[in-house]
Each structure stands twice: as structure tokens, then as C-alpha cells.
Structure 1
Amino acid sequence: MYDDVIEKALAALDLDTKTRLLAGQDMWTLPGVAEIGLAPIVMSDGPIGVRGQKWTGDAAIALPSPTAQAASWDPGLAEENGRLLAQEARRKGVHVLLAPTVNLHRSPLGGRHFEGFSEDPYLTGQMAAAFVRGVQSGGVATTVKHFVANDAETDRMSVDNIVGERALRELYLAPFETVVKEAGAWGVMAAYNAVNGASMTTNGELQNGVLRGEWGFDGFIVSDWTASRDTVGSAMGGTDVAMPGPVTVYGEALAAAVREGRVPEEVVDAMVRRVLLLAARVGALAGAPAAVGELPARIDGPAQARRAAARSFVLARNDGGLLPLAGVRRIAVSGMAAREPRVMGGGSAQVFVPSVATPLDALREALPGVEIDYRVGADARTLLPPYAGAATATARDAAGNVLVAEELAESRVAWMGELPAGLDPAALATVELRATIVPDESGEHVLSLAGAGMFTLVVDGERLFEGPQIPEGDDPVAAFISPPETRFAVAMTAGTPVEVAVTAAIDPRQVRGPLKMVFFTLGHSRPVPDEEAGLAEAAEAARGADVAIVFVNTTEAVESEGFDRKSLALPGRQDDLVSRVAAANGRTIVVVTAGAPVEMPWLEEVPAVLLTWFGGQEFAPALAAVLTGAEEPGGRLPTTWPRRLSDAPVSAVVPTGGKLVYEEGVFIGYRAWERRDAVAPAFWFGHGLGYTTWDYADIAVDADDTAGESLGTVRVTVDNEGGRAGREVVQVYLEPVEADEERPARWLAGFAAVEAAAGEGVEVHIPIPARAAQVWENGGWVTRRGAYVVHAGRSVADLRLSAVIEV
């Protein structure tokens, strides 16, 4: 529908303009060309919100992490989340959302797993396709990422992932294929890593051959930021846009390659056509009507975030029906996360939320008249949060003259990619962050300086620090995500202001090129007891309570973009906290905030465990609703949780000689666990409890024409036998009757959520895709004929009904 407009626009461009269009003009935008009516195209990170072009100060709705969204097993909810983010993108003038992430949870050590959906390619594909449909229904493009096999962070810029053809097709490419074919994604992001010897930005076999040739993808491919390092290789390998700009391997370098005969101009023309198609679809090209004419109805952002959070929580354990809370008069609460919740993962998934309610506040509001006794217990924070009061940032030149001054929403300078308007990088010598802290309690407060570089810290006129802070490694993104931190104990009196100034000396290299970065934080913490005293206080408070609730969490230093985890242990002495509280009170509930599995050595010591992922801005009210029974925990595990890292069948994330070999083939996640009879995980894929009970009453399979897209439809009847309304996720797994060592014992083939009132029965219809009985061999998809058992149940390890289908 856009061919004529695009061809006319293309014909009006000279070579230099065409190649400039393929390189970012700055950190987040592609250049416009007024002569052809092309507006600049703005991109922004997702996937839980739309950050915009500023790292902080530009408020955004924050949804739960993608692992949480996948835990809902609800594509309809994912689609609504996508519509909300499109609404947010339009509000911020953003055309392209850099999401969703569909890389799989291959190893539990993957540092960025909170940003992906699941260990299972089918669940990942269905949730991601729904999310993409939602975003693009709002006229905003998506870029499905990171194509492909970007399943760990260690040496991510250079690692060569060696993946067999079957595993590549059946696992890692599968969710991309689903999103392209079923949701019509308008964009894909090429990963940093190489696959089988070829860097993904130059991997023509996968980008041009599979993505465009086999699947019919007609959108644009953008590099991950700084991933394109080869002009000819990237252009010939199918990468259309090299970000960020203005200095990239495209632009002038690409124009020179064309003039020298190293890249045919028709290749550049094809790249520009795809960028112009993107512009037309999002309404940025004159004469081309946007792909979406009528926008969806407005969504209440906080309400949607709250609903998504409650739907994601997985009740992993609930012995004796301890939850929901009932008849309690005194609750002992402990754990720093009850007062300072971690609601999102670290790195490019972060957005700025002006304020977030705490679980303590939410519980007190939900339970008026109930005494809630809070003790910190254990402080596992590896980075202190920024002081939440007003602050200013002042940029100066070498003579001390003010270049720019701006108000900050919190005590963090976060200039990444772009500097404040009017600030000349060549003149910039220092940036001063100044705040007035008014403590609300007397005692020994803690200030921190987090950042990489040369700093000075002055408190009430006294210089407490002057010198360098040096990060580990040479990844600048990792340095800004998890920077070095120094802490300082400062005695403060309640109500008495304390003047604090942090000055950063600017290395010219920080503000040259596309990745301009001035990023440092003044952190603050109220007084906290020492570890032993804190643990003892929490246990003593729990001893006299009706119920104890312990909050535990991972931190930015152990679970974030930029690095992989080294263990699954909770940081600090949080395990000790749980054990001591549980020993003091046999009615202990543990709320676990983590984006991916953690070890729980105290699991058998507590009757109730609620897994909450990173719950987004409405985490606290959603949690209070679930704990009190106003809402049911709706989540089911999208990934298997091991008892300990040593049990995990696949864990390696560190390359050897620059290569990471996926030697396990198609056996990851529950597929691998089911081959290990002697070792069971803590919780299986698909597991999750509710507040009612379900009976699986009947199953039948209606066979379809196996030459089509479906093998048949499974009809499952479930009855709500409990005393309250509830929600159940019916999961369908396919198992070959004749065992095949080359294939898993069984695999997810379909799912659907049902809701029913107390005493009500519901029949759900679940189609089985033809791909469920296919394997990749000899360069194509082959249907393995024979008899299959169709299982229906509550998890991969809790199968209630079965039937047989002939394929």
C-alpha cells in the first residue's frame, strides 16, 4: 500500500542522504529529511515501560517484568500491556519501542532473564506475539530482540554461540518466527553476539535467508547499540540501521563503500526502503497514511500495572492454607524490600517512576486495625537508592563558569547518549550534584557515592572523599548499571538539614562519540542496626506475632543487564533472616522478589512462599490484595526453579576461547530436568497454587487435518470445587507414545486460562499447532508420524488427564 510513496521518496534522495538515514543522528533517533516529508523517527527502550530519550526525570508507567508477564500465562493481558505501552509511546513522541525480548532462559545464571519471558519457546512466542499485536495496534513499531541466541551476558559483545541446527530452529529461533508470522512485527534487533561463527549484525544466512527469505519478514533490522562494527558486513548481512549515531559504520562510511564498489547501491536502496516503510507505518512519512488509523481506547496505566502484577504472582507453597491472611491481629514484617521494594530489573529495562508505594504502606492500608511491626532484619543492598528529595545538577567549565544547571527529580545525574540542551561537551569540566537532606530520624545515616570516575564529596562543608572510583571490566554499560560505590557514615539529627555536594571531574572521553555518559548517584539510607542485632530484632518481633512476613530480594549487583549471575544465592544474610524468623514463628510467609530463580535453603522451614518477580510500580498494592485474598495469585512458573545451582542441568554462561557451546542441544529447562530421574527441581515449569481447588473432569481431542496448521483441538473440562471464585491455567503437553531419545519426554503444546465461580465447571478448547509434532532435520521441518499422548494438567509434573491422538 506504500510502494508508490516510498519509491517517490527514495528517488529524491542522493547517496549521502540515503546512507545518513541508516545511521542514528544521536542516541535514540533517526534523522528526518524535510524535502521528502520524512520526520525524525524516535526509538525508546522497553519492555516494561517507555523511558523516552532521558534516563531519569521523564515519568513513565512501569509494568511488571516480562518474566512476570509470562507467569500470567495470559496472552490477552500481554496484548493489553502492549496497548498501554503504545499509549505511553505516543505520549512521549516515540515511534519505535525496543522490545520485546524473546531470548530464552537457557541457564538460570543469565543476568538478564527478567527481561525475557520463559525457558519455553512456545510460551515465549505466544506471549511476545500478543505483546507485539498490542503495541502495533497503537501505531507504534516493535523491535523483537535480540536476534538470536543472546541468552547470556558474559562477553556478550564478542561471544560466538555455537548452536546446533535443531536447537537453533526448535528453540531459539522459534519465538522470533512466531512473532514475525503471527504478529507481523515491524522491526527486529540484531544481537551483539555471533552465532556459529558469524556476528549477528553481519549474519546474512539468518537475517536475509531465514528471517526475510523463509519467514517473509518485511520490516527493518536495527543493530543493538554499538553492535555493528563492519560497514560492508552489516550492509550485506541484512542490518538496515546502525545505532547509535551520528558516528557509526553507516553514514559516510557506507557511502564510501558504495562509491568504491564494495557495497552495491541497490543494497542500500533496499535498506532505505525498509526504513521508509517503517516511517510510513508509524505516520512519519508525508503522503503515507499511518498503518493504524483508529487508535485503541485509552487504558488506565496504574490500574493495568496493578492487574498485571497480581496476575503474575506465583504461590509456590501454601501449607495449611496460611494464605490468604484471615483473622490476624499482629503481623511481624521484616526485610529491607518491605520498605524499599525492587520493582524493576537493572539496565535498559529501567524507567523513571516518581514514587512507588512500599509493601509496608500497602499492608497497613489494606489491614486497618491490624498491628504491623516492622524490623529491617537484614540489609542486602549493594547500592543505596538515590536520595528522593530535590537536587540540582550544575555543569561548569574549567574556569568554574556555569554552563548548564538543571533541577533533578532525585539525586542522580543520568546523562546517557545526550547531554542537556546547550551544553558544549568540549567545554565541560565538572558536574556538581547538590542536595539538602532533611532526615526524618536521628542517628547514623549512610551516604554513598556511586559512579565511575574522579569525584569529590562534601557534607556540610567537610570534604569526606576525593579521588577515583574504578569499575571492574571495560564494558561502559555494565559500569553505569552497576557502578563502584563508596559509603560514608554521617550522624544526623531529625529535622536538621544537611547540605551535600558531589562533584564529578569529567574525562573528555565520557562525552565524545555517541555513548556520551555522565552518570553518578548520591545515595542515602536511614539508620539500620548491625547485622546480628537486626536479625535478632526481627526474630523477636516474629515470636509474638500471629503471622510473620519476610521480604527477600536480589539486588542490582547480582541480577541485571551487563553481567551474568555467579550464583543463585540471595545476597547478604537474607537466608539467615528467613531461618531465624521461621524458627521463631511457624506461620511464616516469604515474599521473594527476583526476576529469575534463586536458591531457597529454608524452603522446608516455612509454610508459604510467594514469588513476585519484579512487580512494577503497582507491586505493593497488588501484593497487599493477594496476601489479604482480595485477589487470587494468578501466576504459574514460566521457568523451572532448581533447589540449588549445582542441580541445574544447564548452567554454563562463560565462553571458552571466545565460544559458548550449546552442547545440550534441545534439552534446556524442563526438557532437560525430565531426563534426570534422581534430581527434581524445587518447583517445576507451570507450577502455581491458587486459593481454590480444581478437579480435572474430562478430556477429549478433536483431530484436524494434520496437513494444515493444527493437529487438533483439546477439550478439557475443569470444575472449581473450592469455596470461592478462581482462575486456573490449563496446560497441554504432547508426548510421543514411542519414546525418542532425540526429543524431550514431553513439551508444551498449548494452554488457556479459565475462570469459574465456586462450584462451577468450565470447558476450555485448546488448539494444538502442527509444529508441535515436527522436528527440524535435513534442512526442513518434518512431521514425526505416530501416536501421541495429549496430557492436560496444572504443570509439566502435575498432569491430570490424558488422551491419544494419531498424527
Structure 2
Amino acid sequence: MPTPEKLVDLRAAMTLTEKASLMSGENFWNTKPITRLGVASIMLTDGPHGLRKQGGAADHLGLNASLPATCFPPAATLVNSWDPALLEQVGVALGTEAAAAQVSVLLGPGMNIKRNPLAGRNFEYFSEDPVVSGKMAAALIRGIQSRGVAASLKHFAVNSQETHRMSIDEIVDERALHEIYLEGFRIAVTEGEPWTVMSSYNKVNGTYANENVQLLHCVLRGDWGFDGLVVTDWGGNNDRVAGLIAGNALEMPSSSGVTDQQIIDAIEAGTLDERVLDARVDEVLALIARTDASAQQTTVDLDAHHELAVEAAQHSIVLLRNENHALPLGPANGKVAVIGDFAETPRYQGAGSSLVNPTRVDSALDALRSSDIDIVGYERGFTRRDTSSRRLRRRALRLAGRADTVLLFLGLDESAEAEAVDRTHMRLAANQLQLTRELIALNVPVIVVLAGGAPVELPFADDVDAIVHSYLAGQGGGRAVTDVLTGRVNPRGKLAESYPLRYRDVPSSATFGRTEATSEHRESIYIGYRYYDKVGLPVRYPFGHGLSYTQFAYSDLVADHSSATVTVTNTGDRTGAEIVQLYVEAPDAAEGQFRAPRELGGFALVSLQPGESATATIDYAEHAFDVFDAAASEWRTVGGQYTIIAAASSRDLRLRSLLEVDGGPAPDAPAELDHYRTGQVSRATDAEYSALLGRALPAAAWPRARPLTRDDIIAQTKGRGGFASLLHTVIDRSSDLFLLLGRPHAANNTRFALDLPFRSIERMSGGLVDKAMLDALLVMVNGHFWRGSRQMLSAWRAHRRGRRARRDIDTQN
């Protein structure tokens, strides 16, 4: 990598126009080159769990095909391994494939906190807990960057929902912001040292994340020491100059020069210091230099990568239930009926920008037929989409009647989990639930294999014999699931998120996705197990839960001020691995305090032969004994007698050890926060939430009276009448039509257009739309259709003449 001095000399040789040109892409995936100075163009591309390099038409939502690449399990699955070493291996493979394809920046990992089970992009994220999220993301980053390819940690920050994601204002108190939503990013940045960070679309407390000086400059660079480049999410720029000042260097994709000119104009007008632009240029040049290795010749062993994808899935599958040792399958299970569409056509990844074109896909049905299990037959049982089919159900029930055991494959379909849309409920499809009830009524043992990237309600859980959760298992998931079912592999995965009994139990259920302009995080720090444990609410499966075909005993817990040791013994008759979780319980279990009773303080993976024992040493997380003092804007160690707990899950607490910690009292909280002290946050009033924020609540609804502007989103045309309503209806109905045609990905991606700000039409049109045309469109949607139509025609003609003139000049040159 060139020295900083050489990079400064290179930048000093640039004109203002050349410097500004580096601040946005040349096209959808590449940066601009400066040929006369030897500044290369580099490629950035998706994705978090597999390379999505498009060979033809480019898009950000997986509409058009990409080149074949290994599809590893996504983050929601990999995290269940609780194995940073495994994720680093996967990262190395991802980096190798990117380098071979001459991709310099791989856009991932994604690591936003799973605030709510309905968030459409949960499958791309790790956990409800920042410690496990940060540790796993850091490992993936280290692996990717070991191959000379930059990882891009995303989406910074508080990207908690897909509904109105490009305009939503995430309202979150300072304590929750730092303890929950930023802490995982901090761990990933300090331990993984990513070369790039991607800013999120949304606002955070009134300011777009990409323009947020506090987040990008003070926290990311100042507090955490990040020395890389910040890139926008695709189309995620609002005010280009404000973003530049905050610390965003690169806008993607190309804005066809629109925002480059804004930068030049601001410098010439004296409203932007050129030294700010110089700092951002240095960051771009440093990234280009850092990723030189991506242009080297690299060979890829796709067979080996497929085997790694299988191994990653094997270690991430979670055995949720196993009554009377129903698993592993063997001769005692007799004839086995395989039922459920997901057995033959696996659901192995999510949809949107992370959609990978896999090199191959293993189905569970093929793998089961190749095993020693006596498969008596297979039936789909239900349609992929939630439509009733008595014929499919009858065939499945007839098959089950001939079997001794039923393997039932259930899950969320492709339309349920995708970028740009959130789920509307937490249930499985009604046709799947009906079939499940009828199969249970046959009194044949039923083993459920579940697929999906986020929690679902499981009303049948106590009535089936076993539940194996594959999550989204990547291209090797079919073989991995079969290996777990047959006992070739002993399951070791554990949940990195809580499974509530029903959606109304989720602390954010009353507010998530229900407002237009803002998203109020009224639950504050009480996310997932922090909430359920605080209020003592029963859950279906707790955070950290996962069973094995063997058993583990814990003993000899010893806690000091930096770490704890615990001995684990495999007391069963199979080789297995145990994920030991260390919880730090607050003094007096936080009774009457604005604090969770216990939080994850660390974890370790221990692999053991039958009868073998091993001692694990687990370091405490950096802020294990701290809370964030919002008034002082800093972390404070709270003193007192803590309890260190070695556990198999957040509810399976095995051993305890007391530890006296030196520190001060807990920071004072406003007197009005009674419900935050008890954890009953669903009962918090507007006044109480306002006191927590320290300011008045912003308006949650879009303004209806004023005309729409460039900064409003297309969804705001709904209900305005005339052309505005027609525009909304056309997009909405087009999405419905794609669903009817069996194209759920296209349906979801069509709806994405509703959340686009009007300004993005000009910037992302590839030069087809200019400012005058956009202004004419706004006149049309604001109730003056004919006047706007005339303006549009005039603007279009002028734009066409201008493009022709520029082409003629280019031809002459």
C-alpha cells in the first residue's frame, strides 16, 4: 500500500473536478477512475453470505441474475454456531471468491440488532444481542479482508425495519442507542477493523444516518478509531455536502454527476471547506490502495467451498425439541414419510440484494433418499404460497397413514422475508398449520424441520416429537439437515434470538411498523431476552437454547475480575460440542432499576468426546459491568455484588459465582420512568417516553396539507387523489400481479419503489431524468396533472437535445 505521503501527493495533483468525481460511482457497482493519474476504478458488490456479481443488467435488489458463487448460510444461520473461527473460515472463502472475480469491496456483513421478528431483513443480521453480533461480525470481517478484499460493515446505524426505510426516523434514547444498537458495531469495528462501513438509509433521531456527525465522526471515528471509508447504501444519499462533512466519502451508485457538481458548487460558494473534500478523497485513495490484492490471480476451489457451506450449516442447525429421543432417525423409526414442499425445493437464503446465484443446491429430499433411512414416499402437502389445496393435503395424509414416522418440512416462503418489505404477522402459512394439525391427529410421530430467517409462532410445538430448525442453511443445507436428522452430525447450534410464544409478547409489537414518519423505540434497552427476563414472561424457546444428542454437565465455576473459568463434561455417549454462555447478573438482579437483570457477558465453544472434560476460560465483554450514562454521554462502571452465571441458555442457568465489582452508583434516571424500572415498557405513556428521550416526541404521521417535495417518498402519494393516487395504485397493483404470477421476489422489489424518495428518480436514472423533469413530475403528483405534463414534455425535449449535443461533442473529440 502506498504511504500516506504518496497518497497526499496524488490527491494534490488532482483538479477540483477530479476530486469531486471520486465521491460517487462511475456506474452501479464501480468507482470512477482518473486515468491520467493512474487512479483505478474498483468494484463494490453484494453480499454478506455469497458473492453477487452481476454480469449483465445491474440492480440492487436481486432482480437480475448474478454470476454463480457459493451461497453460504446467511448471518441469521451462521450465528447459531456461536463459532467465530468458523465464520472467519467462511469469510476467507468469501474473500477468495471476491478476489478471483476482481471485486474489491464485499458489501457485508450486515449486523443490525434484531429488534422485532417481523423485520424483513432479519435473515441478514445476527442477533438480538450486541455481544454475539459484534464478535461474529468481527470474525467474518477478518476472514474477508485476509484475502485483500474490503468488508463493508452495514447498515450503520439503527436500521431496524424495511417499511419506509429510506425516510423513517428511528427515535431511540441515548442509552439504548449505545448499549444495544451501537455496541455490536463497536465490537466489530475494534476487533474486526473493517476497511469500509456502509451508512444506513434511515434517520436517527431526526438526522439521516449518512449525515449524522455524531454517529460518523464523533462515535465511529473519534471513539472507536475507525480509519476506513464510509459508503452510502445504494441510493442512500440525501444531502451530498452534509454527508461529506459528516464523514461519508463515497456515494453509490452513480448519480450521473448530479451530486459531484453539488460538491463543486459548494466549494466555489464557500459553503464547503475544500479540506473536507480532501479528507474524503484520501479515504477513497487509501481504499483503492488497500484492495490491490483483489486484482491478483486467485483460484477458487468451488467443491471445497461447497463442503465448507455444508459444514457451516451442520454447525448452525438448532435442535429445538427432541421428546423421547425421537431423533436421530434410525431403524426404530420404521418407514418414514417425507412431507412438505421445502424438502424438495429448499428455502436456503433470503431475497433482495443478498440473493446469490448458487453453484449448486442440495435438497433434503435427495439427501434423505441417499441415506439408510427407509423413505416410504414424498408429498408436497401444501402450495408454496398460502392457498388451500385439499388434493395436496389428502395425498400427504394418505402417505402419512402408510408410515411409522413423518418428517414434515415447514417454513416461511420467499415472499415472507425480503429486503424492502417487513412481515405483517409472525405466523406460518395457514395451509401449513392446517396440514400440521391433521398430521398430528393421526397419532404418528411427527418430526418438524423448520426453515426461515426469523422467529415464527409455533402453536404445535408441544404436540410434535421433535423440531429441527435449519434457519436458512445455504446451498449445502439439504445435506446438512439430513446429517443432523440421521445422527451423522450431532447438532450443536443454539439460538441467538428469543422465540416468543406469540407476537403480542414482543416488547416492540405495539409500535413496530405502525407509523409513517417515525419509528418509536419505546422498549429502549429491553430487547429480546433482556425484556422477557425482566418481566418474567414465558417464551417458546429462550435465547441461547439448543439441544444435542448427548448431555453436558457444568462444574467448578470460578470468576475473577477479567474472566471466568468453568469445566464442562460430556456425560453422554456421543461426541458433541457445547456452547457455554456466561451471563453477568446485575446487583439485586436489577430489581427496581432501569436495567436488565442479566446480560450476555461472553461465550465459548467446547468440543468433547464421551466422558471427556475441558475447562473453558471466558473473558468478559468490555462493558459487562457498565451502563451508558446518557446525561454525561459516557460509559460508567456500576459497582456492587454481581453474579456470574455459567449457562446453557438465558433460562438454563447452571452455576453461579458472586463477584464484587468496584464502581460508582447507577446513573440517575428521570423520576418519571417507573415503567422502565419495572420493564413494563408496553405501558409507558407518551410523557414517560418523552422524559426518557429528553425532548418532545416528533410527529409520527406524514404531513398531509403541504405539497410533496423531492425529499418525500413515493408512498406519500397514497390517498392524495388524481395522478398521485394513480401512481401509487399502479405500483401497488403491479406488486400484487407479480405475486399472482408466482414471482414473489419481483413483487417485493416492485414495492421497493414506493419507499424511494423522489430525489432518487433523478440520481438513479442513469441520466434519463434531470432536475426539470423531476420537478414536472412533482407538479403532476401535487394536483396539477396537465400543467405538469406540459412541463414534462418541454423538459424531456430539452433534456434530449442536451444529450444529443453532448454525444456529438464526444464523437468529435
1:641 aligns to 2:642 (yes or no): no
Supply the RMSD in Å over aligned alpha carbons.
Answer: 2.0
Q: Answer whether contact 2:45 2:105 (CA < 8 A) is retained.
A: yes
Contact residue 313 and residue 611 of structure 1 kept, 8 A: yes
Report the equivalent of 1:351: 356
* 2:640 paired residue number: 786
Give the drift of 1:24: 0.4
User: How far apart, in 2, do the equivalents of 1:745 and 1:122 lie?
Assistant: 16
Taking every aligned residue pair, what percent have the same amino acid on both sides? 38
Give, in angstroms, the shift of residue 536 of structure 1. Answer: 2.1
> Contact 1:224–1:243 at 8 Å: present in 2 too?
yes
2:588 aligns to what SS in structure 1?
coil
The equivalent residue for 1:365 is 370
CA contact (8 A) 1:229 1:249 kept: no
> What is the deviation of 1:540?
2.2
Specify the SS of the correspondent of 1:29. coil
Three-state SS of the structure 2 residue aligned to 1:142 is strand
Structure 1 contact 139–295 (Cα < 8 Å) conserved: no
Superposed CA deviations along residues 572-623 of structure 1, whole A, max 9, x for unmatched, are 4001111212222431100110100011111111010011111100011111
- Aligned position for 2:117: 108
Distance 1:569 1:627 in 2: 25
Q: CA deviation at 1:143?
A: 1.1
For 2:584 and 2:463, the matched residues in 1 are separated by 36
Whole-angstrom distance in 2 between the partners of 1:340 and 1:693: 34
Aligned twin of 2:618:
766
Matching residue of 1:278? 287
- Per-residue deviation, 1:530: 6.8
Does residue 308 of the first structure (1) align with residue 312 of the second (2)?
Answer: yes
Q: 2:490 aligns with which of 626, 629, 632?
A: 632
Structure 2 residue aligned with 1:30: 31
Q: What is the distance in 2 between the residues matched to 1:572 and 1:156?
A: 29
SS at 1:617 equivalent:
coil
Instruction: Look up the match of 1:43.
Output: 44
Deviations 1:406-439 (A, max 9, x none): xxxxxxxxxxxxxxxxxxxxxxxxxxxxxxxxxx
Distance 1:293 1:805 in 2: 54
* Matched residue, 2:262: 253
Residues 135-162 of structure 1: CA distance to partner in whole angstroms, max 9, x if unpaired? 1111110111111000111110101111
Establish whether residue 797 from structure 1 lines up as the match of residue 654 from structure 2. no
**Preserved contact between residue 223 and residue 241 of structure 1 (Cα < 8 Å):** yes
CA contact under 8 A between 2:148 and 2:293: conserved in structure 1?
no
Larger relative helix fraction: 2
SS at match of 2:529: helix
Query: In the alignment, is the contact (CA less than 8 A) between 1:231 and 1:249 conserved in 2?
Result: no
1:211 and 2:220 aligned: yes
Structure 1 residue 697: deviation in Å? 2.1
* Equivalent residues of 1:120, 1:639 under 8 A apart: yes
Once residues 249 and 340 of structure 1 are traced to their aligned partners in structure 2, the CA distance between those partners, rounded to angstroms, is 45
In structure 2, runs of 5+ residues without a counterpart are 56-63, 662-813
In structure 2, how many angstroms separate the alpha carbons of the residues matched to 1:739 and 1:309? 36
Residues 154 and 655 in structure 1, CA contact (< 8 A), matched pair in contact too: no
The CA deviation at 1:787 is: 1.3
**CA shift for structure 1 position 11:** 1.3
TM-score (norm 1): 0.78
Question: Which residue is equivalent to 2:586?
Answer: 736
Whether the 8 Å contact between 1:579 and 1:605 is mirrored in structure 2 is: no
Is 1:596 the equivalent of 2:454?
A: yes
Distance 1:739 1:371, change over 3 A: closer
Query: Match of 1:795, SS?
Result: coil
Paired residue for 2:762? Answer: none
- 1:689-728 pair list within 5 angstroms: 689-701=547-559, 703=560, 711-728=561-578
From 225, 229, 237, give the equivalent of 2:238.
229
**Do residues 535 (structure 1) and 539 (structure 2) align?**
no
CA positional deviation for 1:284: 7.5
Q: Secondary structure at the match of 1:317?
A: strand
Aligned to 1:414: none
Is 1:333 the counterpart of 2:338? The answer is yes
Range with greater deviation from structure 2 (790-799 or 179-188): 179-188
Q: Does 1:124 align with 2:128?
A: no
String of CA shifts for 1:194-218, please: whole Å, max 9, x gaps.
0011011111121111111111111
Distance 1:329 1:213 in 2: 63
Conserved 8 A contact 2:589-2:598: no
Letter in 2 for 1:801: L
Residue identity matched to 1:675: K
Instruction: Give how far 1:688 is off.
Output: 0.2
Is 2:535 the partner of 1:676?
yes
Q: CA deviation at 1:655?
A: 5.1
Between the aligned partners of 2:51 and 2:418, the Cα distance in structure 1 is: 18
Q: Which of the two has greater strand per residue? A: 1
1:222 alignment partner, SS class: strand
Task: Give TM-score, length-normalised by structure 2.
Answer: 0.77
Closer/same/farther in 2, CA of residues 295 and 268 from structure 1, 3 Å limit: farther
* 1:786-807 deviation per Cα after TM superposition (whole angstroms, max 9, x unaligned): 1110000100000101111121
CA distance in 1, matches of 2:302, 2:418: 32
Which of 570, 574, 598 is 1:746 aligned to?
598
Give the deviation of 1:126 after TM superposition.
Answer: 0.4
Partner residue, 1:90: 99
In the TM superposition, what is the alpha-carbon distance from 1:232 to its structure 2 partner?
A: 1.9
Cα pair 1:380 1:572 within 8 Å, conserved = no
Aligned partners of 1:201, 1:23: CA distance in 2, in Å? 14
Number of aligned residues:
646
Contact 2:100–2:297 (CA under 8 A) maintained in structure 1? no
Structure 1 residue corresponding to 2:525, chosen from 666, 691, 694:
666
CA–CA distance in structure 1, aligned partners of residues 362 and 376 of structure 2? 16
Higher relative contact order (CA 8 A, sep 6+): 1
Deviates further, 576-585 or 128-137: 576-585
1:662 Cα deviation (Å)? 0.8
Read off the aligned partner of 2:291 and give its amino acid letter: V
Instruction: Say if 1:380 and 1:555, in contact at 8 Å, map to a contact too.
Output: yes
Task: Report the CA distance shift for 1:298/1:567 in structure 2 as closer, same or farther (over 3 A).
Answer: closer
Counterpart among 605, 608, 624 of residue 756 in structure 1: 608
Q: Could you say what secondary structure the match of 2:624 adopts?
A: helix
**Counterpart amino acid of 1:764?**
A
Residues 1:787 and 1:640: Cα distance change in structure 2 (over 3 Å) = same
Q: Distance in 2 between matches of 1:607 and 1:715?
A: 36
- Tell me the alpha carbon deviations over residues 157-192 of structure 1, each in whole angstroms, 9 at most, x when there is no partner: 101111111100111011111111111111111110
Paired letter, 2:286: L
1:421-570 maps to which residues of 2 (within 5 A)? Answer: 531-570=389-428
Which blocks of at least 5 consecutive residues in structure 1 are unaligned?
383-528, 704-710
Listed one character per residue, the Cα deviations across residues 740-783 of structure 1 (whole Å, up to 9, x for unaligned) are 32110100000001011111111111111341101110211111
Offset, 1:556: 2.2
- For residue 121 of structure 1, report the CA deviation from its aligned partner: 0.4
> How much has 1:250 moved relative to structure 2?
3.0
CA contact (8 A) 2:508 2:521 kept: no
Shift of 1:639: 0.4
